[in-house]
Amino acid sequence: MKTAYINGIILNGHEDMTPTLGLAVLVDGETITGVIPAGEVPAEYTAVDLRGGHLMPGLINLHVHIPGSGKPAKKQADTKKLVKLITSNALMRRIGMNLCASYARTELMSGVTTIRSVGGIQNFDSRLRDQINQGKVVGPRILAGNMANSVPGGHMAGSLAYEAHSPEETAGFVRKIAQDTPDLITLRITGGGLDAEKKGEPGVLRMAPELVKAACDEAHRLGLPVAAHVESPRGVQVALENGVDTIEHGAKPTKEILHLFHERGSALVATLSPAIPYALFDPAVSHCDEMGQYNGKIVFEGIVECAKTCLAAGIPVGLGTDTGCPFVTHYDMWRELHYFCKFCDVTPAFALSTATKGNAKIAGLGDALGTIEAGKCADMIVTRKNPLEGLDALRELEMVITCGLCINAPKVKKLEQVERD
């Protein structure tokens, strides 16, 4: 089907984007075929009148855990028990897959047309990706990470990550994960703020350098990039020295770390959303004890400083929500952009470009996604208000277009507790 989107205000996704009127965006099937003067639309195109809405590229969320809802709880859940239950039999696996599909659909309906999963249940991520690609399920494009690779006592080990005891075993887990054709391999190199055992020591190195190297070498041999959960300077250095392609979260960088980023051509994926509840919320709301709040502030400040320093040094910085963490839902990518502006001192235009063009490039999809121009995939969203004047405009969408499929008036079911708090 050939469609022309007319009477819209175009935000093309580039860093210097400005609202542009008087143009029509032509779409043939899944592809943008042109951006032309509105008066020159060929007769064979069916017009869709945007009535002055703002048309922009679909958002890309680079850090998602599909099985998590983000619903906060007073007590941290036992993820090992939950995953064991969900994978215990065929019926439970089907329920788990259906839940993941509903969460992925929520991402899409909130304007995220591409997600990158960085740790999930068994091969659920790649199975869901394939179902979406085959048209069996409506959802965003998925770059699937499936199970992560960790060590005993490591972050999410035994639930969303395998537990390797040696370099040979971790390389074996990479091969096992690769059998389900993921799009990337993910590692859990350090602990996090939630599982820190001592005050002042979040992000403790868990995965030995030789295991990190073995995993990266095997992943790269198989043609797969490597993303790594890292929340301490030591962890970042170990990750970069041993071949990690994207640092997820980050920590206060040293000169050596900045040199390694440049030398390796690696990128940072900043995730401000999950650290904020622990660092800045009232403990009565976050259900966080004094040690958790103290460590949360260290993690938050490290992520912010890493992002700001990398930006200043010309190192690619992308954005992800770490959806699944408490208070971080599948419909709140707009908050990550807002926090990026507020705490990293960037403009709304730069934040929006980072979440579209920049994220597409980091994901290896820069030729296909991230901007509105001929030859790119028709992944777009429409808001009534101008997000360059306030990123909360992204909370209310009039339209989502995914691979050329137009969804009018998309709706998401919001979590009352998150909205209230």
Q: pLDDT band at residue 328, thresholds of 50, 70 and 90?
A: very high
**CA–CA separation, 297 vs 102, rounded Å?**
32
Using only the alpha carbons of the chain, give its radius of gyration: 21
Decide the pairing of beta strands 141-143 and 112-117.
Answer: parallel
CB 145 within 8 A of CB 186: yes
Q: How many CB atoms lie within 10 A of CB 165?
A: 10
Bridge partners, residue 381, by sequence:
56, 400
Nearest by Cα to 371 from 383, 346, 353: 353
Give 252's pLDDT tier (boundaries 50, 70, 90). Answer: very high
Spatial separation of the C-alpha atoms in residues 421 and 416, rounded to whole Å? 8
Give residue for tokens 């992943």. 219
- The amino acid sitting at 198 is K
Phi, then psi, of 409 in degrees rounded to 5: 50, 55
- Alpha carbons within 13 A on the beta-carbon side of 173: 28
Quote the tokens at residue 17.
């984007």
The DSSP bridge pattern shows strands 317-319 and 380-383 to be unpaired
Residue 376 half-sphere exposure toward CB, CA atoms < 13 A:
26
Position 406 scores a pLDDT of 97
**Domains of the chain with bracketed CATH:** 2-57+369-420 (2.30.40.10), 59-362 (3.20.20.140)
Between CA 228 and CA 246 the distance in angstroms is 6
Contact in structure between 313 and 261 (CB atoms under 8 Å): yes
Q: Which residues contact 391 (CB under 8 A, 6 or more apart)?
A: 334, 337, 338, 341, 348, 351, 352
Instruction: Report which secondary-structure segment, H or E, holds 127.
Output: helix 124-133
Q: Is the dihedral of CA 79, 80, 82, 87 positive or negative?
A: positive
3-class SS string, 47-82: EEECCCCEEEECEEEEEECCCCCCCCCCCCCCHHHH
Q: Give me the residue label for tokens 């069916």.
A: 46
What span, in angstroms and rounded, lies between the C-alpha atoms of 182 and 237?
A: 26
Helix (H, G, I), strand (E, B) or coil at 313: coil
What residues contact 150, with CB distance under 8 A and at least 6 apart?
A: 156, 157, 161, 162, 163, 164, 187, 188, 206, 207
Contact between 6 and 46 (Cβ < 8 Å): no
Task: Give the tens place of pLDDT for each residue, 376-418.
Answer: 999 999 999 999 999 999 999 999 999 999 999 999 998 887 8
Instruction: Assess whether pLDDT exceeds 70 at residue 80.
Output: yes
pLDDT the model gives residue 244? 98
- pLDDT tens profile 268-304: 999 999 999 989 988 888 888 888 888 889 999 999 9
Identify the pLDDT of residue 420.
67
| Residue ranges in 332-373 assigned as alpha helix (H) | 333-344, 348-353, 359-362
pLDDT at 77: 74
pTM attached to this predicted model: 0.96
Place of tokens 């028990």: 81
- Measure CA of the first residue to CA of the last residue in the chain; give whole Å: 44
Nearest to 207 by CA among 180, 238, 176, 181: 238
| Identity of the residue numbered 79 | T
| pLDDT grade for 218, boundaries at 50, 70 and 90 | very high
Query: How far apart, in whole angstroms, are the C-alpha atoms of residue 74 and residue 252?
Result: 30
How confident is the model over 148-183, as pLDDT tens digits?
Answer: 999 998 988 888 999 999 999 999 999 999 999 999
Reading the block at residue 386, the tokens are 């101008």
Question: 3-class SS at 408?
Answer: strand
- For the chain, give the mean pLDDT: 95
Q: Are 128 and 117 in contact (CB under 8 A)?
A: no
Contact between residue 377 and residue 356 where contact means Cβ atoms under 8 Å apart: no
- Say if residue 421's pLDDT is above 60: no
Beta bridge partners of 246: 227, 267
